[in-house]
């Protein structure tokens, strides 16, 4: 199974594509971030995100896309902008015929680190270990996107084992 994780943001939108190999190992196929300029209009930034995520989906052909669920923000304006970015990321995935799964930050950290209140550096370190990378992915948004993809792969594997055990 191949999953694209997307860490939505208005300055950087991180992405990472991870494959779960037959031997159970996780393989990072690509990661990075779409860097956005605050000088661009919001509509121009959204178009850039849509175009670049669409190109990554086209190139790496993930089976699913996973993104971080909405969390509570103190700043309403920031929350609205983030919602727009999330909508465009979901549109890029659904336009390619892909399912989008959403995970809370707590769930993502639990799946990767084993502790839902883990610090950002702990998540980056575990992503590096789980994917057997030589360096921590940069920018941090790329590591977060890889963590989201890993979370989806772990969750899917657990659900699959549960279905097999239940017999359905």
Domain ranges of the chain: 2-166
pLDDT of residue 51: 98
- Selected catalytic residue, list 7, 19, 69, 144: 7
Architecture of the structural domain at 2-166: 2-Layer Sandwich (3.30)
State the average pLDDT for the chain. Answer: 92
- Selected catalytic residue, list 135, 141, 144, 160: 141
Q: Could you confirm whether 141 is annotated as catalytic? A: yes
Q: Could you confirm whether 68 is annotated as catalytic? A: yes
> Residue 165: which residues within 8 A CB-CB, separation 6 or more?
none
| pLDDT range class, residue 168, cuts 50, 70, 90 | low
- Selected catalytic residue, list 23, 68, 102, 138: 68
Question: 162 pLDDT exceeds 60?
Answer: no
Question: 126 pLDDT exceeds 70?
Answer: yes
């Amino acid at each position: 199974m191949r999953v694209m994780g997307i860490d939505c943001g208005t300055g950087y939108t991180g992405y990472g594509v991870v494959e779960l190999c037959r031997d159970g190992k996780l393989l990072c196929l690509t990661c990075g971030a779409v860097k956005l300029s605050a000088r661009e209009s919001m509509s121009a930034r959204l178009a850039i995100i849509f175009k670049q995520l669409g190109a990554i989906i086209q190139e790496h052909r993930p089976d699913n896309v996973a993104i971080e669920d909405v969390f509570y923000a103190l700043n309403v304006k920031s929350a609205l902008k983030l919602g727009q970015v999330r909508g465009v990321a979901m549109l890029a995935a659904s336009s390619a015929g892909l399912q989008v799964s959403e995970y809370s930050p707590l769930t993502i950290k639990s799946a990767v680190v084993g502790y839902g209140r883990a610090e950002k550096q702990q998540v980056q370190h575990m992503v590096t270990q789980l994917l057997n990378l030589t360096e921590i992915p940069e920018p941090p948004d790329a590591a977060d996107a890889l963590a989201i993809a890993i979370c989806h792969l772990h969750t899917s594997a657990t659900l699959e084992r549960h279905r097999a055990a239940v017999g359905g």
